[in-house]
Chain A
């Protein structure tokens, strides 16, 4: 199928021309085509198949020391005039505390493995079969599996950033996210298991693997004991490690830190984690789930260390928050809408101004093999899933997650049996400062639209049973 980028260029140029005519100092158009195909599985069947094709443009304008933003899905000529007027109207009372200018032209790097034609053109019939393959594999794993639910999202996006400084940065990408939750039953005992992954190409999508892993976890929990409330050595497997990583990514955003999660605000240069913890953001990683040659305002991507052996080295910036704090952009602009009532699909979004956040963050792998971490744990817990993870006090760092499935006792280096539903209740800083082992490989894990590359980490945490 022909790329939409040619017509995007014409539309974007037309918007910049209107902005210039209206006397604006600078303008920036961010055009998006985002296709999502979702196959939702429920009760061992395909529940619904749904597609979205979202096309639109977000416009930022600068006039003197004022900044405005507006977006529209209507790319007709009349609508583009209205778009510029709306952006101007939002700028009128928004006086900036500093001089601000959109990013200048930079050299665009290349990133391998972020677009797969086969995934982009995956027929819906094939997508349904791939999704259902997860259910098949789960059912085939054990007769004790009674129910499966899951989702396959296939995303194909194209974006173009154009601004008054001549930036013209295009970005194309594909990705999928696939997850399955399986329920096992044996007499009165019922247990759940799940597996979730994401990738950039069709060859990374392995439905059989996902189905089997979900089923294996479900069956393993059929015989489970009640946990005793205590502070444990806790091995956070890939998915819960992403749960922790997700919150840290917010904490190192100057915008999110100032508005919502201030835990790291006074900790720049200070120790926030054990020396085993190094947090890297590398949007140039080949095949990276968050990789792209440019960020969402056209700044070339670069690799950076955010937490270095436990010390918070930097916050990440887009051009706007960089200007406010007299820092340079770190190429960390991500367009995610804050507005309720506009879409927030997987993929790209034109409905909001950029937010500075790490784009492809991960904990630097350590020296331990995953099995070694388990073998060298005398007494503790293996946590394979987090649910309802919350930073309940974002100033103090109170952190909680429901350990609904995939929770095991570890004794003398071996899994000593599954444990019933429990709750982790601790402090995020304590969790980070108590990290004493990091595994040596990055694996893509996550859940519900939030995926990253991660190793396994071992720390300490307070865990209590849920009655």
Chain B
């Protein structure tokens, strides 16, 4: 039924004169539970289904979404999508052209061992209350917070090139956060566990144990020493910190719309625009974006333009190799489209987004990195980013750090941030471990209206040089 309606939209827009049209039917099931200090703050189930119709008319984009899934509703929405595209075309001096993409007819599913709806909401709620309780490892924990999101999406994509793609996805994640206090000192620690693949991840991981670990970490930060500012220090960043680092200073600037200045008014631009082929970092610096990794939050096989997903090589041995593309930006750059387009729901037009962006592997072991450091810092777990609009000057705080002296972890540090200039840091990367980990990042924002999307990010442990900032 959905496919027929989507095909009707495509056929109708084509008849009206659209040179390109795609239609996305989506059915969303979404659960949210928030528990703070033992009290349930939110416990909701949301359902939403509808269709987004995108047209290219005289080289200009038009889009309309609707929740009216009758033939009449789809006809109306299609006509609006066509009309607004046509109205826009008056002010589009360079008509949009799309790079060719092979139309696929396929259906695929995320591997799900335990369906979200097979566990009673009540039971999930009880579990999350228990995990939150575990955050309270002592009276020093003044606030515990557990936030659970579960999503199921059934998506049907069709376009007038003949693509027909059906995708069943299921994602879930839990963030656990503990705030600790002693006297005037307050600290916090948080961790997110999540994947694509239903509810099984919470059965595979010992969530109660993770809750206790988060609580104890928050407590331990009360005893940690405040970090002191140190210019150009040797730093080893762990997988979790590398995740936010790669997200902010590799992922975002790799979005081709950003490279073209199209996000200038919102998120910003990119310092490396026009530098494809140039060496911007050391030989140890490699980065990818890869949607086709099952189990990750950024998993998909086809993007929201129907393009088959593949690993995008963004940086290879320090050389800027390529960007994340839509069919439109691929045509501008004269490259193959690489499946970078996603929309959060059918109500939004797709944008170029990260899927799973991560630093590439090296051949070191974590222990070797630490052993070989005479004086430096192990920077652990992401906190807040503050990056300039060109993704050049960056400051990212960490949840904790350890001073390394003569190859050993020594003083535990709190309130620590790293700052550097992107190319300076990239050139300073001198060693990378073998094991890459991708962690969930559920709230990446882009677009107007804003689309908050879930992605995966990560990397190995990375050694480089950056300035340590004592936050306070």
- Which residues does A use to contact B, with CB under 8 Å? 36-56, 67-74, 79, 82-83, 86-87, 89-95, 97, 124-125, 127-128, 132, 135, 147, 149-151, 153, 179-181, 183, 192, 194, 255, 258-259, 262, 324, 337-346, 351-353, 387-388, 390, 392-393, 395-396, 398, 400, 402, 404, 421, 423, 448-449, 466-467
Contact = CB atoms under 8 A, between A and B. Distances in A.
Contact of A352 (B44, B151, B471): B44
- Select the residue from A192, A339, A388 with max chain B CB neighbours within 10 A: A339
A46 B48 contact: no
A344 B87 contact: no
- Select the residue from A153, A387, A392 with max chain B CB neighbours within 10 A: A392
Contact of B63 (A51, A149, A353, A390): A51
A124 B84 contact: yes
Given A51-B81, A258-B36, A90 B450 contact: no
Contacts of A89: 45, 120-122
A72 B48 contact: yes
Contact of B92 (A46, A95, A341, A351): A46
B62 A53 contact: no
A47 B63 CA distance: 11
A346 B89 CA distance: 25
Contacts of A150: 265
Contacts of B471: 392-393, 398
Contacts of B233: none
Contact of B122 (A92, A147, A338): A92
Contacts of B126: 93
B41 A466 contact: no
B388 interface: yes
A73 B48 contact: yes
A87 B45 contact: yes
A151 B265 contact: yes
Contacts of B107: none
A248 B345 CA distance: 31
B415 to A, nearest CB: 8
- Select the residue from B32, B80, B389, B450 with max chain A CB neighbours within 10 A: B32
Q: Using C-beta atoms within 8 Å of the partner chain, give the interface range for chain B.
A: 35 or more
Interface stretch (B5-13, B305-313, B441-449): B441-449
Interface string B160-183: 000000000000000000010000
Interface string B251-270: 00000000011101110000
- Select the residue from B42, B46, B345, B389 with max chain A CB neighbours within 10 A: B46
Contacts of B50: 73
Given A70-B45, A179-B265, A467-B421, A343 B347 contact: yes
Nearest to B447: A40
| Closest 8 pairs (CB-CB, A-B) | A149-B265, A181-B265, A50-B63, A49-B84, A48-B61, A93-B125, A92-B122, A46-B88
27 contacts: A38-B449, A42-B264, A43-B260, A46-B60, A46-B88, A46-B91, A51-B84, A55-B68, A87-B45, A89-B45, A90-B45, A92-B121, A95-B40, A127-B87, A128-B87, A149-B266, A192-B264, A262-B143, A340-B344, A340-B453, A393-B471, A393-B472, A395-B188, A396-B186, A404-B388, A423-B386, A448-B448
B347 A52 contact: yes
Contacts of A352: 42, 44
